[in-house]
Amino acid sequence: MGRGEVLGALERVVASRKGDPPEKSYTAKLLAGGVPRIGGKVTEEAEELVRAAADEPDDRVVAEAADLLYHTLVLLAARDLSLAAVEGELARRFGVSGLEEKAARGGGTKGGAT
């Protein structure tokens, strides 16, 4: 699979687990727990990624980033949101200074893409 195809394929697998949940599927169990359960995993994985980035080897950082992306896709699926929607938002922000983008939204805590 080429770069960029993996997330789309994973998104399709997550959607299939939501539509027809197999009995022994971690993804289906997360989806059944709803946003509170998935959100807890996203928070946990984000913390693990930051810890790994601070003092662990590169392969651990990559593994934790993969875990965070997976759980983020599951959270999006739980809300019936797509990776394409996120890509569209990133495209909208592309080339806009993070400080400018933040100011345009009234000074919130989220930054832009650049």
Exposure b/e, 58-74, CB count within 10 A at least 16 = b: eeebeebbebbbbbbbb
pLDDT mean over 96-102: 68
Is the distance from CB of 50 to CB of 67 less than 8 angstroms?
Answer: no
pTM exceeding 0.75: yes
Q: Where is 28: in which H helix or E strand?
A: helix 26-55
Residue 30: is its pLDDT beyond 60? Answer: yes
pLDDT mean over 79-99: 88
Alpha carbon distance 70, 65 (integer Å): 9
In terms of average pLDDT, the best of 20-34, 58-72, 79-93 is: 58-72
* Domain 5-81 class in CATH: mainly alpha
Alpha carbon distance 35, 54 (integer Å): 28
Sorted by where each begins, the domain ranges of the chain are 5-81, 82-114
Q: How confident is the model at residue 57 (pLDDT cuts 50, 70, 90)?
A: very high
Residue 112: is its pLDDT beyond 60? Answer: no
**Averaged pLDDT of the chain:** 89
Residue 52: is its pLDDT beyond 90? Answer: yes
Q: Where is 33: in which H helix or E strand?
A: helix 26-55
pLDDT of residue 56: 98
3 state DSSP class of 107 = coil
pLDDT of residue 31: 97
